[in-house]
Structure 1
Amino acid sequence: MARGKVQMRRIENPVHRQVTFCKRRSGLLKKAKELSVLCDAEIGLIIFSSHGKLYELATNGMQGLLEKYMKSARCSVEKQADENNVLESKMEVSMLKNEIDVLQKGLRYMFEGGAGKMSLDELRILENNLEVWMYHIRSAKMDIMAQEIQLLKNKEGILKAANKCLQEQMEMQYGAVTTDQTMANIPYSLTIQNEIYQY
């Protein structure tokens, strides 16, 4: 009597499900042992039942087999990562080559009076690059101007401090407050220095 075709779906009856699990598990373990002996293959098989019970088979020790598997998986992951890096590098190089070609065409177009005709897309790319360059140039210019303003502010602070120091020296030397009358008695060089530091 021939067996009927078994439908691949979960067996609803728990007794039938457990019987089928035991039969198929032992058959699977037997086939794995046979494959290991016949083909000299290293085999590791791990099975967890629906109740969480562990069944395993390892021809040369499970720990060694798992380490070998992890090493192999790590190598394949590294190989895949290297291939991805090479692919990304090639794409980046081709993108940069295209950009360089467009920029060279743009330079010829600008300096040779349109000797090399450019397509609309190439002109758009050139326009975008020019806008980016202008943005970078403007931001660099603003940075330089901000630095110069800060230097001038620092210089102003130093000059104000020196001016204050000179005024204090003059007050100590010629009295509490210098008036126009006492200014006439101050040596000419000191008044000039004071006027310089006021600026």
Structure 2
Amino acid sequence: MVRGKTEMKRIENDTSRQVTFSKRRNGLLKKAFELSVLCEAEVALIIFSPTGKLSEFSSSRCFSINKTVERYQRKVKDLSLSIKGIQQNRQHLKEGSSSSMAKKIEQLEVSKRKLLGDDLDTCSIEELRELENQLERSLNKIRARKCCGEEQEWRYLSKEKDVPVLKEMRDDVETELVIGPPERVRRMP
């Protein structure tokens, strides 16, 4: 016989509700016992019936359910204290990091303005030299990347059969310079 899926709603019939409560309570107590034996877990189970009757289970023979509940309360208290500490640390870090982030943003803005040639009046000669060197390094990287891109494009176009290679794509075309009369080429008949 196959059981149907039970719809999760309040059982309206008082007798059926009480029978279901008793069966499920016993099943729950059995599962709690099995969990404590199989996994050596400390299990405490407290159940109040609709009429207010208490059912309890404690896996620990040495301790009563009260000891398990006290242990639970200590853990919850410790956990709440550690959560409070974490939240306070997070808030402190947030406040500290927001001010340091604001400083970093301001420094980046000043640096950007200087790279664009603005606000150079306050710079010393050494700062101007460093700025010039930085711009030269950047320009060299840009030119190298541009050259690499043009070279890749040139190679791509030279592989295409129907597309003629454009000589003006490369500024630095290497040619061989020969001084003197041109060599005679023998042609085979």
CA shift in 2, pair 1:105/1:5, >3 Å: closer
Task: Give the Cα–Cα distance (whole angstroms) in 2 for the partners of residues 40 and 17 of structure 1.
Answer: 33
| 2:73 counterpart residue number | 70
Query: Which runs of 5 or more residues in structure 2 are unaligned?
Result: 121-189
- The reply on whether 1:115 has 2:116 as its aligned counterpart is no
Query: Which runs of 5 or more residues in structure 1 are unaligned?
Result: 117-199
| 1:120 counterpart residue number | none
- Aligned to 1:66, the other structure's residue is in SS state helix
Deviates more, 1:96-105 or 1:29-38: 96-105
| Structure with greater helix percent | 1
Bigger Rg, structure 1 or 2? 1
Per-residue deviation, residues 64-118 of structure 1 (Å, max 9, x unmatched): 1011101111121112112111111111002222454578899xx9xxxx728xx
- The reply on whether 1:57 has 2:57 as its aligned counterpart is yes
Please give the TM-score of this superposition, normalised by the length of structure 2. Answer: 0.52
Please give the TM-score of this superposition, normalised by the length of structure 1. Answer: 0.50
Per-residue deviation, residues 31-60 of structure 1 (Å, max 9, x unmatched): 111111111110000001111111111122
Task: Give the Cα–Cα distance (whole angstroms) in 1 for the partners of residues 76 and 27 of structure 2.
Answer: 28
| 2:87 counterpart residue number | 84
Per-residue deviation, residues 104-156 of structure 1 (Å, max 9, x unmatched): 899xx9xxxx728xxxxxxxxxxxxxxxxxxxxxxxxxxxxxxxxxxxxxxxx
Identity within the alignment, %: 41
- State the superposition RMSD in angstroms: 2.5
